Amino acid sequence: MRKLSLFILLIFIAFNIMACFDFSPSYQAPDPNTVEKEKIKDTPSQTRSQSKNEILKIGDQDVTLDFNLYDDSNLELTTYIPQDMLASSKEGDFLSIYANFNNKKNKKAKIAFFSPIKTVSSNLENMKKVARENVTKDGFEITDQTVNNYTLIEDSDEEFDIIKKQENKEDMIGKVSLFNHNERMYYIIVQYPQDLEKEVLPRAQNIINDIMFYDEQFEENKNSSNATH
C-alpha cells in the first residue's frame, strides 16, 4: 500500500514538472523581408513600365491607345495589352486575349498563345499538329490561299492562314505562327471576323511585337511612348 502511494506521488510530481515546460510546436513569424523578396519580379521583362500609350494606325486614323503590362509566368514572358482587350490564362500554358471594344467581349476576335509546359519536350512537327488540331476543332480550315498578306513573326519557323466560312455572316480569318525560343516551342493564333480586321490586326501585331521573354536582357521594341511606372 505504501509503495502504491509512493508511485502515485511520483506520477503527480512528474505531471507538475512537465506542466512547467511548453512542448507545443513553436511558431515563428515569417521574415517580412524574405516574403517581400519572393514577390519581387526581377527579370528585365518583368520590370518594364507598368503602362504606356502608343499611336496605332487603325483603319485610316491614328489612334492613341493605353496599354498595360501583362505578365504570364507559365509562358515566361510579358507583353503590353491594350485596355480595350481582355487577357485570360488557363492551366497548360494557354493565354487568350479577347477584343473588348466598347466594353463588349468578343470571343471570336482573339490572340491565342500556347506552349507545352517546360517539362514536356516538343518540336515543330508536334506543335504544327497541335495547332492544326486546335484550329480545326474551332471550325477553321487551313488554306493554301493567302487570306492575310502579313507576317506575324518575321523569324517564325512556319506560318499558315486559316478561314472559317459562315453563312449570312462575315467569314472569320486568321493566321497561325509557330516559333522556337530558347529550345521551347510556341504558337500564336490570331483570328477575327473579317470586318474587324482593321481593328484587331494592329492591336495583335503590337502585342506580339511587345513580347519580351524572361531570359531576354534587352527590350528590342521599338516604338513605345509615354511609358509610366
What is the percent of the chain where pLDDT is above 90?
61
Better-scored residue on pLDDT, 142 or 226: 142
- CATH architecture of the domain covering 39-228: 3-Layer(aba) Sandwich (3.40)
Distance CA 127, CA 159 (A): 12
Domain residue spans in the chain? 2-37, 39-228
Reported as a single tens digit per residue, the pLDDT across 189-211 is 999 999 999 999 999 999 999 99
Please say whether the beta carbons of 190 and 179 come within 8 A: no
Which pLDDT value is given to residue 19?
Answer: 53
Inform me whether the pLDDT recorded for 216 exceeds 50.
yes
Reported as a single tens digit per residue, the pLDDT across 7-66 is 555 555 555 555 555 544 444 555 555 544 444 568 999 999 999 999 999 988 999 999
Please say whether the beta carbons of 112 and 104 come within 8 A: no
CB atoms < 10 A from the CB of 94, how many?
16
Q: In Å, how far are 2, 88, 95, 156, 189 from 105, measured between CA atoms?
A: 87, 12, 16, 29, 18
Provide DSSP, 125-154.
HHHHHHHHHHHHHTT-EEESS-S----S-T
Which pLDDT value is given to residue 220?
Answer: 63
**Which residues have C-beta within 8 Å of that of residue 139, sequence separation ≥ 6?**
164
Distance CA 67, CA 206 (A): 10
Q: What is the mean pLDDT of the chain?
A: 82
Dihedral sign from CA coordinates of 187, 221, 70, 88 = negative
The three grid cell numbers given for residue 183, joined into one nine-digit string: 529550345
Reported as a single tens digit per residue, the pLDDT across 107-136 is 999 999 999 887 677 899 999 999 999 999
Please say whether the beta carbons of 212 and 44 come within 8 A: yes
